Structure 1
Amino acid sequence: MGRWRPLRGDLPDEVVRLVRELRQYVDRGEMNAATVAAKTGYSRSSWLRYLNGRRLPPWPAVAALGRLAQVDVGHLRVLWESAAHAWARQSPADETDPAPATRGPAERADAPVTPETVPAPAADGTPRRGLPVARSGVLTAAAAACALLAAVLLAQPWDTGTDRGRPPDGAPPGAPAWPWPLHSAARQTAAACRSNGCRGLDPYREGCDRDSTVVHRLRAYDRVLTLQYSPACRASWAEVEAPAATSGLRIATTGGDQQLAAVGGAYTLMVGSGPGTARATVVVAAHQLGVGLHDSWIDPVSGRG
């Protein structure tokens, strides 16, 4: 979705954490608001509000995006409930959108939601039906949302068959086929190195690419900069697709560790760091592109890159 707008300074920390998590899912899938709308049943304008922190997304929308990104729905539910409680404490109770009877599924209103108004999800993330709710009138809306989410999940509109079995456009060489799994280290074979033992080593020679995940990526100037992380190796590195005419491809940590690729290099050696403390940068067309766990940026570079 390009560079994200800064979130409002008055948003509760719990809401900020949820929004950043959802932004990561969108970035990992290289989606935009229109794509997310088509694949979740919530309108493009609603997702723009959700992803910019102007409205708290309802749980069915969050669950649909989480399933699309193949993440742990239980973890996502905890983040959402925390954000919902914080939002309810700060926001007025009458913030609702008009909901005309003619409005279709993709144009559904996104009235504010709290944990008390939505049933807890089943093990697969699908909201349960038939549970009591706190307010009169909310039951109908919750049931309708549950029914629509079930239809979306059964239809799986994102599984067109044309994307499955090949990496998304712009993915670096060796990227897994769509949909990208967020691998667990427990499911991987033993790594050749781990954490600080991986520092300065080649991620492909050490086999750390086998379970690597995309932490964040930025597309600009016909390049794709990616921050990669291996849960099995507990190490990070930077990659750039179309490395020609680039320089300064670097992976650096907040602790001062860094690895710099040669001019025109496609990836760096590893640093023994998790994704929360690593940043990837590269210089192209007199601009530095950068990505971290939650942020991306493009800054002009003066002089030689």
Structure 2
Amino acid sequence: MREFTEQLRRLVERSGLSVGAVADRTGYSKTSWERYLGGRLLPPLGAAEALAEATGTDVVHLSTMWELAERAWSRSELRHDSTVESARIARARAALGEFGPPQGAPQAASQAARAGGQPGAVISEPLCHEAARRAAAAEESPAAGPAGTAGPVGPAVAPEPSGQAPRPPVPGSPQPPDYRANAIPADGPAPRRRAALFVTGVVGALLVVAAAVLLLGVGDGTGGDSGSVQPLASPSAVLPAGVKCTGAECSGKDPEAMGCGGGRATTAGSATVGTSYVEVRYSQVCGAAWARITQAAPGDAVRIDAAADGAAPARTESGRVVRDADGYTPMVAVSGPGKAKACATLTSGSKGCTVARAPSAPAG
């Protein structure tokens, strides 16, 4: 990561461009480039390729270095996640240790010591005998009923030798639960429960039929094949990697955060207002446009106006330059690059709007 960041700095220094000029030529904001060049954030591949084209550098070489830096960044994140997970496990173990050792642990430890260091043989043997005794008692118990009959289930009690009284339970020992309270009657579930099960089955069948009709379609009524399957469009399947919205979904959202800027945008209109440069940035893949102003001063305002398009009403989004010399507005959904214009109002009093032009090549 350090080597890749230093390479980016050298490219900018050799080109003689300022950070604002680099932002203007690549389509990424000045704030983003300050983070990229400072090593605080890994730039996207589109930003690295745009910088290579703006400075006349071999794009393939810089893309290779970006891939190596991206792998290093991913490994660093994995190590950080592993460290956090280890700390959580350590805290959980420390919290569990406050409850002390389980009851009966000293006796088990002493038995294990007498058994020659094999605690498994001492502890598991009584448990196996107890399980075998309970299984034998369950088979001999008349409450189990004939094979295949769902009779009441009770606790398994081992028979005592004849002539001896039943052994009292050992205090503190776990007692088998009594399942007879929850046992199903021999004649099956109650009528109300049967009715509920029937209604549930009918509703489930109707849901399955409705889903099949929606997936397969019911035909268009024009005599065509009503059984033909129409594929369902999936927005995530047609959008490129990194693009997070399209059309109306992009309205009011940040173009850089949604992956619509950089190399995926073109300049659909521009104008010079005072000493500032105003543009209409249009992204075909996102179906949206936004206004961008560069070489501006803090307090300068910029606005994007989208004309009414069919049933869609006119829309407007505004932005203002806060600290840097550039700024941009949120996006508005448009059907084409000529459907929007950008206007700027400078603190010096100058005003102006863009003039539509043919879309330029993607920003590099």
- TM-score (ref. length: structure 2): 0.30
Tell which structure's C-alpha radius of gyration is larger: 2
- TM-score (ref. length: structure 1): 0.36
Decide which structure has greater helix share: 2
